[in-house]
């Protein structure tokens, strides 16, 4: 069920433990081979499929996805349209406040863009404290630099943006928008010199995508396949449906 399709009276009639699912994407450069919509497509497609797959005794509703988010790490490239940290935070807080006054008490972010993860968690706490909503933050798949899979071996664990995983997903979801003829490997091998600092390591670092070169992506999309993307989606959708179920019944005492 889509929030956007309902009247205000239908929304008022939703059970108050309904889980509102909010996909977060991005409008940002994804290298020469992928469209700027990549993260948004992935988040909204998987979220919509998961909402459809949830058992009927779990009330949930799909909010319209938010595509303009925090892509400041890609500021140096044309095509990236990004909100500053305080604008995105204000947006998420405003949405949380509106849900409260709409009688909704559970909010799950489904985030397709790794650059939103940190601020999203700040927002989850703020919305919980100020408006009392139970808030949850998840990804269609766990980002590579946050411990997720989806990498090609050639990526050395650094396929964080426009690499094997995302390219495969787009080959499955929107093959018309993928330019495999322009796909090249861009893995910052120099990072292997560092034991402690790096993607997914003990010490994180503040980076922008132009730190790694002029192409914009970080990873190796050359071996991406629609099959891998399809398998990823087929795993992610039921897993996300389970997350929604847990969000519905979640309690801490």
Cα separation, 129 vs 133, in Å, equals: 8
The residue among 22 and 152 lying less far from a copy of itself, judged by its C-beta, is: 22
48 touches a copy of itself (CB under 8 A): no
Cross-strand pairs, 216: none
17 touches a copy of itself (CB under 8 A): no
Shortest spacing between CB 210 and a copy of itself, in angstroms: 10
Question: Which of 65, 61, 41 minimizes the C-alpha distance to 51?
Answer: 61
Tokens 């766990």, located at residue? 142
Shortest spacing between CB 200 and a copy of itself, in angstroms: 10
Q: How many CA atoms are closer than 13 Å to the CA of 152, on its beta-carbon side? A: 23
* CB neighbour list of residue 220: distance below 8 Å, 6 or more residues apart: 152, 154, 155, 159, 163, 164, 185, 186, 187
Q: Which stretch binds a copy of itself (CB under 8 A): 48-56, 82-90, 149-157, 222-230?
A: 82-90
232 touches a copy of itself (CB under 8 A): no
Shortest spacing between CB 234 and a copy of itself, in angstroms: 17
Among residues 48, 68, 225, 226, the one that binds a copy of itself under rule CB under 8 A? 68
- The answer to whether 45 touches 238, Cβ cutoff 8 Å, is no
Shortest spacing between CB 223 and a copy of itself, in angstroms: 19
87 touches a copy of itself (CB under 8 A): yes
The residue among 30 and 164 lying less far from a copy of itself, judged by its C-beta, is: 30
Q: Which of residues 20-39 bind a copy of itself (CB under 8 A)?
A: 27, 29-37
72 touches a copy of itself (CB under 8 A): yes
Residue 68 corresponds to which tokens in the numbers above? 């303009």
**Torsion angle, CA of 41/44/49/50, rounded to 10 degrees?**
130
**Torsion angle, CA of 106/110/116/121, rounded to 10 degrees?**
30
Q: Which of residues 137-176 bind a copy of itself (CB under 8 A)?
A: 137-139, 142, 147
192 touches a copy of itself (CB under 8 A): no
181 touches a copy of itself (CB under 8 A): no
């Amino acid at each position: 069920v889509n929030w956007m399709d309902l009247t205000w009276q239908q929304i008022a009639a939703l059970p108050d433990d309904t889980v509102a699912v909010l996909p977060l994407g991005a409008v940002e450069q994804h290298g020469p081979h992928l469209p700027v919509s990549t993260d948004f497509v992935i988040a909204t497609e998987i979220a919509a499929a998961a909402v459809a797959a949830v058992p009927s005794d779990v009330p949930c509703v799909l909010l319209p996805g938010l595509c303009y988010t925090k892509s400041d790490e890609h500021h140096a490239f044309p095509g990236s349209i990004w909100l500053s940290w305080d604008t995105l935070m204000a947006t998420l807080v405003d949405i949380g406040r509106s849900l409260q006054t709409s009688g909704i008490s559970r909010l799950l972010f489904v985030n397709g863009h790794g650059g939103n993860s940190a601020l999203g968690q700040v927002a989850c706490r703020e919305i919980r404290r100020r408006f009392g909503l139970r808030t949850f933050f998840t990804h269609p798949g766990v980002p590579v630099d946050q411990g997720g899979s989806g990498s090609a071996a050639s990526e050395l664990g650094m396929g964080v943006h426009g690499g094997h995983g995302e390219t495969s997903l787009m080959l499955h979801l929107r093959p018309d928008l993928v330019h495999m003829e322009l796909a090249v490997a861009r893995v910052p091998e120099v990072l292997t010199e560092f034991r402690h600092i790096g993607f997914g390591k003990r010490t994180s670092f503040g980076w922008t995508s132009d730190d790694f070169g002029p192409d914009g992506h970080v990873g190796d999309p050359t071996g991406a396949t629609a099959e891998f993307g399809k398998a990823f989606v087929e795993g992610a959708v039921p897993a996300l449906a389970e997350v929604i179920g847990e969000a519905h019944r979640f309690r801490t005492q």
